[in-house]
């Protein structure tokens, strides 16, 4: 899924992230057949009338203070009146792993706005959550992304756009890495700044 991987890396650069978000191969998760829809309802205990939008969704959960990089989890995003449900699909079973409610969201970060063709990030009291709503072909699923975005963004919510709202900074900690120069017995090492994720929302002080 090179298209999506490139898109996420470009977004990381535009937002000013020190860390790159990486994703693996494409995961095909059934969700648009009558059978899969019925199973989603059963497994996630959702009333049929309460499913408002569904899409393959990749996400990263960044607890504040953690390093600003992750390997995106590949799963399914389900929008209901009771939250955006992030679900994994394993052994032909859908399992809820996280749920995001509008009242938990303190502010939002998006480079190109609500209809931009890139992931967006929501910030809660405890963590940042990057959401990449995608099609089975690996493109951004903009209509469903907009549905997720609008549900999670309350009226008057602060939304960072462009390069504003960076949420990764130097932590003050150092990390030493090293190894051997390829094809030689010459050792090398260097010291790097360790980054951390923080909450950029205007009403938050730390």
* Most distant CA pair in the chain, distance: 65
pLDDT of residue 17: 46
pLDDT score of 38 more than 70: yes
Structural tokens at position 193: 């700044």
Do residues 113 and 97 lie in contact, with contact meaning Cβ atoms separated by under 8 Å?
no
**What is the reported pLDDT for 39?**
95
State pLDDT tens for residues 134-149.
Answer: 998 889 999 999 999 9
Q: Which has more confidence, 14 or 58?
A: 58
Tokens 């994703």 -> residue: 23
- Average pLDDT for 35-58: 94
Q: With helix as H, strand as E and coil as C, how does 104-153 read?
A: HCCEEECCCCCCCCCCEEEECCCEEEEEEEECCCCCECHHHHHHHHHHHC
Residue 82, pLDDT > 80, answer yes
Q: Is it the case that residue 185 has pLDDT exceeding 90?
A: no
The confidence band for 62, taking pLDDT boundaries of 50, 70 and 90, is very high
Q: Using pLDDT thresholds of 50, 70 and 90, give the confidence band for residue 13.
A: very low
Contact (CB, 8 A) for 140 and 134: yes
Q: How far apart are the first and last CA of the chain?
A: 38
131 confidence band (pLDDT: 50, 70, 90): very high
Q: What's the pTM value of the predicted model, to 2 decimals?
A: 0.80
Is 14 a residue whose pLDDT tops 50? no
Over residues 87-116, the pLDDT tens digits come to 999 999 999 999 999 999 999 999 999 999
Percent of all residues in the chain with a pLDDT value above 90, rounded to a whole number: 58
Q: 195 falls in which pLDDT band (50, 70, 90)?
A: confident
| pLDDT tens by residue, 151-176 | 999 888 899 999 899 998 877 677 67
Residue 10 pLDDT more than 60? no
Taking all residues of the chain, what is their mean pLDDT, rounded to a whole number?
A: 84
Which whole number is the average pLDDT over 31-35? 90
Instruction: Let me know: does 130 contact 66? Beta carbons within 8 Å.
Output: no
């Amino acid at each position: 899924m090179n298209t999506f991987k490139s898109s996420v890396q470009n977004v990381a650069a535009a937002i000013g992230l020190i860390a790159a978000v990486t994703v693996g191969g494409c995961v095909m998760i059934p969700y648009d057949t009558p059978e899969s829809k019925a199973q989603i309802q059963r497994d996630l205990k959702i009333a049929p009338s309460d499913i408002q939008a569904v899409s393959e969704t990749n996400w990263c959960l960044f607890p504040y203070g953690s390093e600003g990089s992750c390997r995106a989890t590949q799963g399914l995003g389900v929008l209901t009146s009771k939250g955006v449900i992030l679900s994994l699909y394993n052994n032909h079973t859908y399992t809820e792993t996280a749920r995001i409610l509008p009242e938990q969201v303190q502010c939002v970060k998006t480079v190109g706005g609500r209809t931009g063709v890139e992931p967006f990030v929501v910030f809660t009291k405890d963590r940042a959550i990057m959401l990449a709503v995608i099609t089975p072909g690996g493109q951004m699923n903009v209509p469903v992304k907009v549905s997720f975005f609008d549900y999670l963004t309350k009226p008057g919510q602060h939304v960072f756009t462009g390069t504003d709202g960076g949420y990764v900074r130097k932590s003050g900690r150092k990390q030493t890495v090293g190894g051997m120069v390829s094809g030689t017995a010459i050792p090398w090492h260097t010291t790097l700044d360790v980054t951390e994720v923080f909450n950029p929302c205007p009403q938050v002080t730390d």
